[in-house]
Structure 1
Amino acid sequence: MQSTLTRSIFEQFVLPAWVRDRVLSANLRISNYVLNTVSVHPTLENVFRVSSENLRSLRENIGQSSKVLGTSFLAYAPTLTTVEDWRSFIEGRMPTVTMERLKAMVPHSLSVVDRLALEHTNRSYINAVYDLLNMSVLAAPLIGISNELASYLRSIPQHQFDVAMTERLIPLFHWRFADEMFWLEIHTGRLSREMIAHYLMETSPLRSDRLPHSGVWGKFRLETFERDALFEAFLSFSCRAMSVCSLFNTSIEHTRKTYQRIHGKSSPSGQPPASLMWYLESAQRRVQATFQIWLFRSAIACDVSTPESFVAMLDIHRAFFADDCNVPAERSLHLARSMSTSEELAVWPCRKCGTPYLASNSSAKIELSQSFLCPCCNGTLIPSRGGRRN
């Protein structure tokens, strides 16, 4: 699983459209398989961690299912969660406890057709995982695994996966969102993108409060061609010319001309963002800002450069929230830079669900870590339709 260098520098920092389509296809194919299989073999609900009733309800609601299945994130996480589990599966060595448990949970009554269907769906899932691992520095949060496991899987040639899937037939995927409140929002048609973002962070082994911070912004040690590509990437995401020229040590005239060439209009003028409390003024902003920091720090933890991590984060964030985005690129840049130098904002785990969130740590308003509740648990996150979440 070696990354390719056939794409341009800029394209290597963002997720290609064909990979997004591969993830969507995998989400749909696996959902169809699980729905049909669980209907015939109800005991497999314990393996796939989803009931046929819940999954059918999601599939029948086009608006809700597009929000869940139509993102860059796989809706199914691996059943094998550690490097040891995957080594056992790939190399056929002494089975781990997880491997033994999965083997025991697969019914002996599966027909030849059922087994072929499982193997085929495993391959669809692994193909999507393989593509994400090799095409995105944010593969770990997109798949729902740790950076350590992502690094190991990235080192395995795909043919070894193919051989293992033929020789050892166990389900390699299960439903990603374990919280029952997720299905309550689905059944009531109130699931918003912010709620999905919350559940993605809640179920991820990557925790924002335990991930490394970025280094100093500016004076990046980059090759000339890499610096030029990232310079253009920042402008492509609509970061203001004044902010970008100071980061990459370019003239303001050249930066403004480049912005004009990319967008067909002048870079916005005015004062840059200054208030960090702006990100906490609404539940939607807090969730989206936290989501950005989670993705940004996940990339930093892979020893990816600061500007590359920022561009990769913006790409995923923009595609995920689309027209519902409440934190524009200039605000994102201000937030990421400020979090590396200021202690006005902290990252505290919610005392109810444990999900790390941005919280105020300023003298004007301090949110104590031992009593902090995230927007999803304190009822302030208003669904896209319907009333307040209780």
Structure 2
Amino acid sequence: MQTNPSRSIFEQFILPSWVQDRALSANLRISNYVVNAVAVRPELERVFRVTHSDLFSLRSDQTHSNKVFCTPFLAFAPALSSVADWRSFIEGGIPTITMERLQASLPADLSIVERLALEHTNRSYITALYDMLNMSVLAAPLIGISNELAAYLRSVPQHEMDVAISERLVPLFHWRFADEMFWLETHAGRLTRELIAHFLMESSPMRTDKLPHSEPWGKFRLENFVRDALFEAFLYFGCRAKSVSSLFNTSLEVARDAYRRIHGRSSPSGQPPSSLTWFIETPPRRVQSTFQMWLFRSAIAREVSTPESFVAAIDINRTFFADDCKVPPERSMHLARSMAMSEELAVWPCRKCGTPYLASNSSDKIELLHSFTCPCCNGTLTATRGGNRRRK
């Protein structure tokens, strides 16, 4: 991640509000362009992977459109999905199969206005990508790409990208949620934050079960000023003073004073969380806990330290779920710490959609790998839906 010395160390691992605003602006601007483009050119529905009626309906429903567009995540994924594809686009060498398909997908009789509109929207999309790539360690899941591709794009000067956009007209984005169930749930009025989280994980090339685990928590090798900043970050997000003082080897009084200074109230008391099955007792908890582990391990894969990865993950998780959050920060910390040392919870891919989820692997309850189905596929996220799931 490119750092800015004017920002504190704590803020380096939190997505700035202006970047979130850029994501919202890009989501609205691109969706508006796609709605208008496919209304005139229905053949472009195959290119953007969304129909005019579906996207227009979503944009007209403020409640559901807010859930999709008003998050830190881009609702449109890159149409070029590999480093080779992007290198072909930027350098103008031998086109890859994907590049050839995209070039052939555009109607030959596009007017000058249509070409300018696409180029302008491409630039808006790339601007949002670069903002995320340079300001967040979790850019890859936010955009819907791999860490490998994120590293390559981060290395490309933006002026080279601008030249490529001018010289080679191809659509650089398409609708992110390819699963038909996304639209069935949307039109039925059942779209929730948990369902959107599921579709984000399902469509991502980064799979939770394939991502590296964190090292054991504690005895972090951090410089003093980095440790102090992260110590305050944990308290800022609501982790209890007792847990944070133990984690960072700081006196309990110092932690309590810092918590009171940050929140204006005393840190909660009581026993720390101990149960791991708690995270999978209800479908919303399972989805939200899995979503957070997906983000956390995505940051770990960037070779970011354990506490920094946790801060980045909980920041996005808190912003995404907002008032619907079912997993408090203290329990989130317990989950991340425990999964580094315990095998009581495993991560199994759903046998229907393939999305990896937290599953019980304890002696009290074992969820078998080959028969495990996620809450979205077994219908438990929406009580009115059955367990049968039609797929493309």
1:193 CA drift (Å): 0.3
Q: Match for 1:48: what amino acid?
A: F
Q: Match for 1:164: what amino acid?
A: A
CA contact (8 A) 1:349 1:355 kept: yes
State how far apart, in whole Å, the 1-side matches of 2:101 and 2:364 are: 52
1:265-305 alpha-carbon deviations (Å, 9 max, x no partner): 11111100000000011000000000000000000000000
Q: How does 1:330-369 map to 2 (within 5 A)?
A: 330-369=330-369
SS in 2 for 1:375: coil
Q: Match for 2:300: what amino acid?
A: I
SS in 2 for 1:378: coil
State how far apart, in whole Å, the 2-side matches of 1:66 and 1:258 are: 35
CA contact (8 A) 1:381 1:389 kept: no
State how far apart, in whole Å, the 2-side matches of 1:47 and 1:23 are: 22
Partner of 1:70: 70
1:2 CA drift (Å): 4.2
Partner of 1:241: 241
State how far apart, in whole Å, the 2-side matches of 1:71 and 1:348 are: 27
CA contact (8 A) 1:57 1:186 kept: no
CA contact (8 A) 1:351 1:371 kept: yes
Partner of 1:388: 385
Any runs of at least 4 consecutive aligned residues in structure 1 with deviations exceeding 2 A, and if so which? 1-6, 387-390
SS in 2 for 1:347: strand
State how far apart, in whole Å, the 1-side matches of 2:203 and 2:210 are: 15
The answer on 1:284 being equivalent to 2:288 is no
Partner of 1:138: 138
Partner of 1:125: 125
State how far apart, in whole Å, the 2-side matches of 1:326 and 1:193 are: 11
Seq. identity, % = 73
Q: Match for 1:97: what amino acid?
A: I
SS in 1 for 2:214: coil
CA contact (8 A) 1:194 1:287 kept: yes
State how far apart, in whole Å, the 1-side matches of 2:303 and 2:155 are: 16
Q: How does 1:9-158 map to 2 (within 5 A)?
A: 9-158=9-158
CA contact (8 A) 2:290 2:358 kept: yes
State how far apart, in whole Å, the 2-side matches of 1:27 and 1:263 are: 33
Partner of 2:298: 298
Partner of 1:168: 168
For structure 2, the 5+ residue unaligned runs are 388-392
1:144-198 alpha-carbon deviations (Å, 9 max, x no partner): 0000000000111110110000000000000000011100111111100000000
SS in 1 for 2:104: helix
Q: TM-score, normalised by structure 1?
A: 0.98
For structure 1, the 5+ residue unaligned runs are none
State how far apart, in whole Å, the 1-side matches of 2:324 and 2:208 are: 23
1:338-363 alpha-carbon deviations (Å, 9 max, x no partner): 00000000000000000000000000
Q: TM-score, normalised by structure 2?
A: 0.98
CA contact (8 A) 1:241 1:267 kept: yes
Q: Match for 2:264: what amino acid?
A: G
1:289-342 alpha-carbon deviations (Å, 9 max, x no partner): 000000000000000000000000000000000000000000000000000000
State how far apart, in whole Å, the 1-side matches of 2:276 and 2:12 are: 31
CA contact (8 A) 2:3 2:12 kept: no
SS in 2 for 1:338: helix
State how far apart, in whole Å, the 2-side matches of 1:152 and 1:6 are: 25
SS in 1 for 2:279: helix
SS in 1 for 2:101: helix
State how far apart, in whole Å, the 2-side matches of 1:231 and 1:290 are: 24
1:245 CA drift (Å): 0.5
1:389 CA drift (Å): 5.2
Partner of 2:4: 4
State how far apart, in whole Å, the 2-side matches of 1:332 and 1:88 are: 42
Q: Match for 2:287: what amino acid?
A: V
1:109 CA drift (Å): 1.2
State how far apart, in whole Å, the 2-side matches of 1:353 and 1:286 are: 16
CA contact (8 A) 2:144 2:204 kept: yes
Kindly tell me the number of residue pairs found equivalent between the two proteins.
387
1:8 CA drift (Å): 1.0
Q: RMSD across aligned C-alpha pairs, in angstroms?
A: 0.9
Partner of 2:390: none
State how far apart, in whole Å, the 2-side matches of 1:94 and 1:382 are: 48
Q: Match for 2:320: what amino acid?
A: F
